[in-house]
Amino acid sequence: MVFTRLLHSSANLARVVRHTSRLTAVQIKIQNTLKWAAILGLFGFTGIVMVVAAAYLYLAPLLPEAETYRNVQLETPLRIYTSDRRLIDEIGNRRNPVDFEDIPQVLTDALIATEDVRFYSHYGVDLRSLARGLYGLVRGVNLGGGSTITMQLANILSFDSDNVYLRKIKTIPFALQIQQELSKEEVLNLYFNTAYFGAGADGIGAAAYVYYGKDVRELSLPEAAMMISLLPCPSACNPFSNPSRAIERRRTRLANMLREGMITQAEFQDADHAPITAGRRNRDIEISAPYIAEMVRQQLYDEHGEEAYSQGFEVVTTIDGDKQLAANQALVNGLETYYDKRHGYRGATANYPLELYADQNGDARKSWLEELQQVPVFGNQQPAIVTSVSDLSFEAILKSGQAATVEWEGISWAYKFNSRNDAWPPPQVAADVVQVGDLIRLKHSDESWQLGQVPDIQGALVSMSPSNGEIIALVGGYDFRRSQVNRVITPRPPGSNFKPFLYGTALEQGYSAATTINDAPITRGDYRPNNYENNFLGPITLRYALKESRNVPAVRLYDQLGDDKVLEFARKFGFQTQNFPRNDLTVALGSQDVQPLEIVTAYSTIANGGYKVEPWFIKEISNLADGQLFHATPVTVCEDCNLANNDSSTEIIPAPRIIDAQVAFILNSMLRSVIEEGSGARVQREIGRSDLMGKTGTTNGPTELWFSGFNRDIATTVFIGFDQPEPLGEREQGATIAVPIWIDFMKVALENMPENTMKRPDGIEDRLINKTTGALATPGEPDTMFEYFRTENAPTTDGALLPGVDLNEEESEELSTETIF
């Protein structure tokens, strides 16, 4: 028994020993594994430290010094003013640094809750966020970005020119460096002062004013949340471009604050239901002159590069604010009224059917309003959607949410557009013109709403002083937002607007206004010009030929004078005649492209008595750092420039004379006849001044319409035409559109200004002549007038001088149907 027990005990002992041995082996194996793991971990950690250290040593010299970003500098945009210092435009981003103490807590909370909830617990880089972002990238899901506020600040402050991968690598050490050198409050302050919030606002100080017109300290909870919602996508997410998206993004920021316990449920509800109160306030423009502003911007950029937009440049232009407003209104109203409405209604832009846009209550207004937010205002034309239609009226909703009623008086003009020459039939009821859901345009006029449409025609108006060439008003198109093409400096054929320079050549070559020229068929090769009236009058005076804008006499006169004389005369006025063809009689009728600016400059020389002035539009340039950089000293017309220089603190540069005063005076009087009896007679009827001269212009098609006119103080040119030349309609002439636009502007421009014309120079004599034949007449004879002559050309015998003209020349050729007036 005892022996058995001993054997049993020995067996148990052996099993224990074997088990203990196995445990010791496992432990040894574990210990060895841990040892090697520790060794490998140590090597790995050492390797990582070495790589990080090497990367830091490599990147450290590339990181900016603290001094380069600690102090944010004020950036002041380019500001452009009228001559009386009313703001035309402000170009460039605005930055207005604020102190951390001025930033409200709700703004800081909104930023931290959205972008970096562990902001106060990390050292510039959040490893948990980076790991989460990396894990999401591997899985292909969006788990949020890994960038901290400090890393975002590092990205804002530097690395703009780096590729995306190098920039991300640099961001981490830079963020660590920033956090070592700046406190958390300084990081937040620098972030708010450098982040871009859209709408031209760099930093929260500028953004608070741009969006809300407030100091940053006054921002409310919903406004603060809206500001933070802009940061990832300031252009696409702002409440100006996408209100509905902006509201959703604001809700997300408020929800983040609620989750972090920064606001209560009640505060969340109140802020979430708050309406959008943002409104663009960064450009308090007093005078709209975007085309001249772009001309200024381009010149400043050419001279100063990107600094033109941030270094506080101020430019005072030559623009007269009141005249610019009159020019804007004259051109926009003229294109709408004098042309577009007369050619019929082209229909709605689009239709948003009620059944597709209505909510469960059958109301589509909310959806329609969202559609309207995407449609810009052009000119006087407000976008609207038709909500209901009655027999003789309809109602519409504007993008502001306002309801508008359009009565029959505002609808009846809308004849159906078929072509430029056909608008028919007239509407009988409102449903002939609009349907519910139509996207249309409305114009507010005379305290009522009218159906409108954005004209597809374009135009330009430019006005300058004949005394020194300063541009006092300039409109380069119907609406700069729709098209930035500046038609004032875009060459187009001027038609008969060029004829004064043909007749001026004749006067310089010894012709007189009483010289007769044969209004009879003429053929040169395949070219056979025709008159607008499709008739011929025989011998007529040059005065009558210009007054009535007869084409055939103009071509015959050009043929007599020759290319060299006419083009040299025109060249002196600033036309680029080196580009004009030779041996081309159509040049006489204005077939070659010229800029409206060139035309008005040339007419200014006629107005001032023969002196060449140059167009200019910048009076002064200054900036914050250097003060005044430029002050204009234009060439100026003055009777005695030496005396004027003695009386002036600035030097006056005399304008050179390019044509004799006698030629200029007679040409003035011939252009006065156009206003009194010719194609510009509407000017005399509606303005009624005796100091106005001018000339219409209409080209083949017609495709371009012009009127240029002046007195001694103001010269103005109006151009009308499609950007891609096409016929305007067979009934159109310069007198039907360009002239009334010119009148609307000049009525305002000349208000309270005394009449002023070129003074009669020495060397001018007048004779009583027969108006039809140009021959000397005796007192008491019918159909007579006093005509002006240069002394050396004044007739002393019966009959006027007629150099180079054969009155017996007759040519009976078939007439061309193409005409330039």
Q: For the chain, what's the residue count?
A: 821
Query: Which residue of the set 83, 310, 463, 496 is catalytic?
Result: 496
138 C-beta neighbours (distance < 10 Å), count: 8
Tokens of 500: 């004064």
Give the list of residues 6+ apart from residue 258 with CB closer than 8 angstroms, or none.
Answer: 264, 265, 268
Determine what percent of the chain falls in helix, strand and coil, rounding each to the nearest 5.
Answer: 45, 15, 40
494 contacts 818 by C-beta, under 8 angstroms: no
690 is catalytic: no
Give the list of residues 6+ apart from residue 334 with CB closer than 8 angstroms, or none.
Answer: 459, 737, 740, 741, 744
* DSSP-based three-state secondary structure for 70: helix
Angle between the N-to-C axes of helices 221-229 and 204-212, in degrees from 0 to 180, rounded to the nearest 10:
110
Nearest CA among 694, 669, 693, 638 for reference residue 765: 669
CA-to-CA distance for 198 and 206, rounded, in angstroms? Answer: 10
CA-to-CA distance for 452 and 442, rounded, in angstroms? Answer: 5
Q: What is the amino acid identity at position 591?
A: S
**Strand order in 314-317's β-sheet?**
87-91, 78-81, 314-317, 618-623, 627-631
First to last CA, the chain: 145
Backbone angles phi, psi at 747, to 5 degrees: -60, -40
Nearest CA among 83, 328, 303 for reference residue 336: 328
* DSSP-based three-state secondary structure for 470: strand
Q: Please state, in angstroms and as integers, the Cα–Cα distance from residue 706 to each residue in 495, 710, 722, 736, 748, following that order.
A: 8, 14, 13, 10, 20
> What is 386-408 written as a DSSP string?
EEEE-SSEEEEEETTS-EEEEEG
Helix boundaries (H) for 678-768: 681-687, 738-749
CA-to-CA distance for 603 and 668, rounded, in angstroms? Answer: 10
Query: Which residue of the set 75, 83, 90, 115 is catalytic?
Result: 115
31 C-beta neighbours (distance < 10 Å), count: 10
Give the list of residues 6+ apart from residue 261 with CB closer than 8 angstroms, or none.
Answer: none
Nearest CA among 692, 669, 660, 693 for reference residue 762: 660
115 is catalytic: yes
Tokens of 747: 């009525």
Strand partners, 381: 378
Q: Are strands 87-91 and 704-710 parallel, antiparallel or unpaired?
A: unpaired
Strand partners, 449: 444
Strand partners, 202: 95, 196
* DSSP-based three-state secondary structure for 524: strand
* DSSP-based three-state secondary structure for 729: coil
For the stretch 264-270, contacts whose Cβ atoms lie closer than 8 Å and that sit 24 or more positions apart, written own/partner, are 267/221, 270/221
277 C-beta neighbours (distance < 10 Å), count: 14
53 C-beta neighbours (distance < 10 Å), count: 10
Strand partners, 196: 202
**Active site residue ranges:** 115, 496
